[in-house]
Each structure stands twice: as C-alpha cells, then as structure tokens.
Chains A and B, each alone.
Chain A
C-alpha cells in the first residue's frame, strides 16, 4: 500500500517559502500519494508556490500573533493525529522552528523522532531516514518499529528544490487545542543583523576560518577574503564556541550545511563535526599547517602551510586584480 499521506511543516518569511521546505516537497512528492503542508500565518500567500512544488493542500493553524511556532503548530498537528486525521509521515527541516515543533509534537503524541536525516528511502510500507555519521564515512538507515506517525527531521540541502508545475494548493485549516503554560513565550522584538554579500548557505564561494586563526582579530582575514571573492564567511565550531563569531557563522553538524562551488577552509583541521557540513561542496581548498589534518582527506587542493602567510598574499593578489 506504500505511504499514502505525508505532511511537511512549511516555513516562510514574508510570503516566500523557505528553500528547505521546497526541498522536502521535492522529495515527498516522489514518495507519498498525497502531500500536504502545515503552515502558520497567511496560507493563501504561499498556496501557489507550495502547490507548484507538489502540495495538494495547505493546512493553516492560523496567525501566531506574538507567539512562537512550536507550541501552536504542535498542538494543531497533535489534535489532528489524535483524531485519526494525521499523516503516515511528517517531515521537518532541521531549522530553529522545525526542531521546536518536532520536539513538542514528539512529546505530545509520544512518538520518537529520527533526526539528522540526509536522505529518505522507502522500505516496503515504511520510510527510512539515512543519517551520515563519522564525518560522512558511514551511512546508517533508521526506521520506526511501531505504528503511528513517523517523524523525521531532515537537514537542509539534502534534496534539490524543483518546481513540479502543479496548480495552487487548496487551503484548509487545522485547529489546535489550548496551549496552557506552554504558550508562555512571546516575541517582543526582532533584530536583523546587517550583512553584506550572499548568505552562508546560498553563496557560491564560502571562506571558513578555524582554530588555526589563533585569535578573534585574525577572523578579519576570512571576512576580507570572502568579500573579495564575493562569497560568504563561515567558521568551524571551535571558533564559534570561543565566541569569536556568532553561531550563525557555523558550518558543520551543529550549524549549517553548505554546498558551494568552492569551499576554502583556512586553519580548520577537519573534525568530523565540520566535515559533515561542507564535504558536499563541489570544490574544496584547504590551508593547514598540519600535513596530517583530516581536512586534506576531502580537499581537491590542499596547501600545507601557514594561513597567516598564504591568505594575506591571496588577498593582496585579488586586490591587485580588482
């Protein structure tokens, strides 16, 4: 009988659907007979785009007001699931809000979640989530043993978003219950940080710095180089944990997955945590003093040398060309 109904948690900003949501739709429409997207906010503003990408229906939980998505969306999903109107499979992107909703829902309906999924495969009547571990050297496929809604958290960039040329999706509503204490978080203000150049997970070139930079002020080398290459600046976990740059710069298992045309790793040893986030890049250049650094195992061009010598010369040469 296969997998009949799939739900996707749909995220959007200002009426534009997130790429991660469209990626999930591209995969889901090849697996399920029916694909529906659960959203909050104005469903009619996203119905055309979601329909074009394969959704038959957009289910709206309504406006959040100043509430966070987690409790409201999870409550609406759980109400439908408890009433027997839920899907066979529920897909979330590994995003800030995706994890909030998936975690809340999991506890509400007492269903485990398969996380860190990079691929989905059909195994008879059930879906398996493929997770890449040990720096991407081993793929493990995990499935649920029981009945009930199968919840997966899928890492962005696992699939390619592609239009299916579908008609606008129908719009319906999904009612939730009373949130009680769980609705006690409210958004008071929003701040966007000024950024120039492309976004880290969309840039064609990413320049990342690691512990080899030595200190916070040397991160400027990475930003200068990224600017000259019209790329985005990233960082390893060590640099983020040290507080040199914000979490939003982090590439890796904890952090963003990037797949640029060129990834330039400066002073990054290549811990498995980092490799998972960048090894899908089309071309990888690595600069590291340690010849034995694991980053050289995935590099197309490896420079054994001091980044403090190589990068300034590279910056100078690029400035001379400009």
Chain B
C-alpha cells in the first residue's frame, strides 16, 4: 500500500513569528522544521504500511526555497521518499493555490491513500485537505481518530461534536488526521543516518505544468487591506502563592456570585 502524507515545513512555533511590514505576510526567512501536526499523519501512514506488509510512505511538500530540514525528520521516522515542489513563485500562496500544487504532485505518486493534518500550525486555514480531495476527484474524511484499511476500503473514526462517526470510504481517498490520536515515533539514530540518503525528488512548477502566475503573490486573489493593534486589556492582579492562593480564588468567584 502506498500512502502519501502531505507535510508542511514551518518556522519553529517556539520562535514567535513576525510580520513583514511590506508584504504583510509572515516572515519565512528562518529555519523550517516539520510541523508537529504532520507527525501524526506520518506515524499513521507508517503503521498502515506496516499492517499492509508492503508499500511505503511518500512525503509531499512545497516550499519556495528548497528547504528539506523538516522532510528529513519525517524520513528519519521511516518515510521512504519525498516529493518536494520547490519554486520561488510559491511564496505567498493561499490555501487553494497550495492545494492545486500539492494535488498535482500527489497525482504523480498514484497513492492508495492520502493523509494530511487537519490544519497547519502556522496558517491553520484547515481547507487544504478537502480542496486536494476535490481537485483529485476523491472522497475524503476529515478529523480522523483512527484508520483501518481492508481491501479497497478505509474505515475511519471521524471526530464529531459529541463523539465520533464510523465512516467507510473507498480508496483512493484523502483523510485528515487529528493531532494526538497516535504517538509519533522518535527517529532512531539509525533512522536519522538513513534519512540523509533517502530520495527527495525536487520539482519546480514547470515540471508540474503549473503556471507560476496562478500561485504565490501573483495568484493570490485576496489582499490584506488593513491591520490594527487590538486594544490591550487592563492588567489584572498577580499574586504569589503562599499556601493560601485557593482562598483568593474562592473570594474572586464569590465576588462574581458565580458559585
């Protein structure tokens, strides 16, 4: 079974982002890491390939600048190879353009199953998984808690407001994986060494037959027209616990007459 896992390389969330005042988008000139949200899909894909006893996990990703740091992390976890669409023209791409590029790259892989996160940790639009499915004319299941594959059918537990639905979906299909539902493996030393030699197929937009004018800044059909500092709230009272902080909390709640 061949599983494509879409992964995004993002600036380290522990290192807060900055907005470029000229382009009004997030600055991207920092080192990129694997979006932690994607590690669950990678783990899920590896488990499904293991269960099937054949096939491999192929990563699909896009960047403007050939960055592979985050891909190496997922390759070290056990993914077999990666397809990286890298083209300067991709900078500033919106979600739909992103989905078009990823869909074109995924089509070349002819996967049985496409896994994604529910949303990225830096853009969090959450629309790319279904946009990819629609562009590839595939069924989809979002917010998966678990996936089992049998023959040409995936059985997926889908998160709902008050529980979960069991969804059957014909393969190939696109499934977005909810964070926290599997424990992503840590790359072993052997895995890290092996990852250095795993194939990363780097493609530009021309190789995918995509007109650069339809993606990135030039292809974006939305614009930020204003930015405003949100009004800061009043500073609250900060106390150090001397063993009686719980009483202070109770008094606070009592004042609100909420208990």
Binding site for B on A (CB under 8 A): 68, 70-71, 74, 94-96, 99-100, 102-104, 106-108, 110-116, 123, 128, 132, 134, 136-146, 153, 180-193, 195, 204-205, 229, 237, 240-244, 246-248, 253-254, 261-262, 264, 271-273, 279, 283-285, 287, 291, 296-306, 309-311, 313-314, 317-318, 321
Q: With A71-B139, A247-B180, A299-B236 known to touch, is A103 a contact of B128 (CB < 8 Å)? A: yes
Tell me if B186 is interfacial: C-beta within 8 Å of chain A.
no
Distance between B118 CB and nearest chain A CB, rounded to angstroms: 7
Distance between A3 CB and nearest chain B CB, rounded to angstroms: 16
B227 touches A116 (CB 8 A): no
Distance between A125 CB and nearest chain B CB, rounded to angstroms: 13
Tell me if B23 is interfacial: C-beta within 8 Å of chain A.
no
Binding site for A on B (CB under 8 A): 13, 16-17, 19, 24, 36-37, 94-97, 99, 118-119, 121, 124-131, 133-135, 137-143, 145, 155, 158-170, 173, 178-183, 220-230, 232-233, 235-241, 243, 245-250, 252-253, 256, 258-259
Residues of A within 8 A of B250 (CB): 314, 317-318
A99 touches B179 (CB 8 A): no
A68 touches B96 (CB 8 A): no
User: CA of A114 to CA of B225 in the docked complex: distance in angstroms?
Assistant: 13
B237 touches A301 (CB 8 A): yes
User: CA of A285 to CA of B241 in the docked complex: distance in angstroms?
Assistant: 13
Distance between B242 CB and nearest chain A CB, rounded to angstroms: 8
Q: With A190-B160, A241-B180 known to touch, is A300 a contact of B168 (CB < 8 Å)? A: no
Distance between B14 CB and nearest chain A CB, rounded to angstroms: 9
The majority secondary structure among interface residues of chain A is mixed
A184 touches B173 (CB 8 A): yes
B126 touches A70 (CB 8 A): no
Can you list 10 A-B pairs, Cβ within 8 angstroms, ordered by A?
Answer: A94-B126, A106-B127, A112-B221, A115-B125, A145-B221, A185-B141, A229-B253, A285-B249, A302-B239, A309-B241
Q: With A70-B130, A248-B161 known to touch, is A185 a contact of B139 (CB < 8 Å)? A: yes
Q: With A106-B131, A272-B16 known to touch, is A243 a contact of B183 (CB < 8 Å)? A: yes
A243 touches B181 (CB 8 A): yes
User: CA of A138 to CA of B19 in the docked complex: distance in angstroms?
Assistant: 10
Q: Which of A190, A229, A311 has the most CB of B within 10 A?
A: A190
Kindly report which residue of chain B lies nearest to residue A313, judged by CB atoms: B246
A254 touches B134 (CB 8 A): no
A103 touches B225 (CB 8 A): no
Distance between B100 CB and nearest chain A CB, rounded to angstroms: 8
Residues of A within 8 A of B248 (CB): 301, 303
Distance between B115 CB and nearest chain A CB, rounded to angstroms: 15
User: CA of A165 to CA of B131 in the docked complex: distance in angstroms?
Assistant: 38
A303 touches B241 (CB 8 A): yes
Q: Which of B24, B139, B227, B243 has the most CB of A within 10 A?
A: B139
User: CA of A247 to CA of B16 in the docked complex: distance in angstroms?
Assistant: 24
A99 touches B142 (CB 8 A): yes
7 nearest interchain CB pairs? A305-B241, A103-B130, A184-B139, A107-B134, A103-B127, A302-B238, A184-B170
User: CA of A116 to CA of B183 in the docked complex: distance in angstroms?
Assistant: 28
A143 touches B223 (CB 8 A): yes
Q: Which of B133, B145, B158 has the most CB of A within 10 A?
A: B133
User: CA of A301 to CA of B236 in the docked complex: distance in angstroms?
Assistant: 6
A254 touches B118 (CB 8 A): yes
Further 14 A-B residue pairs, CB within 8 A, beyond A246-B145, A254-B37: A107-B99, A111-B96, A112-B94, A112-B221, A115-B125, A116-B124, A134-B16, A141-B226, A141-B227, A229-B253, A242-B180, A272-B16, A302-B238, A314-B250
Residues of B within 8 A of A106 (CB): 95-96, 127, 131, 134
Q: With A144-B222, A190-B160 known to touch, is A305 a contact of B240 (CB < 8 Å)? A: yes
Residues of A within 8 A of B238 (CB): 291, 296, 299, 302, 304
Distance between A130 CB and nearest chain B CB, rounded to angstroms: 9
Q: With A115-B95, A237-B179, A310-B241 known to touch, is A302 a contact of B167 (CB < 8 Å)? A: no
Residues of B within 8 A of A279 (CB): 233
Residues of A within 8 A of B164 (CB): 190-191, 193
B163 touches A137 (CB 8 A): no
B134 touches A261 (CB 8 A): no
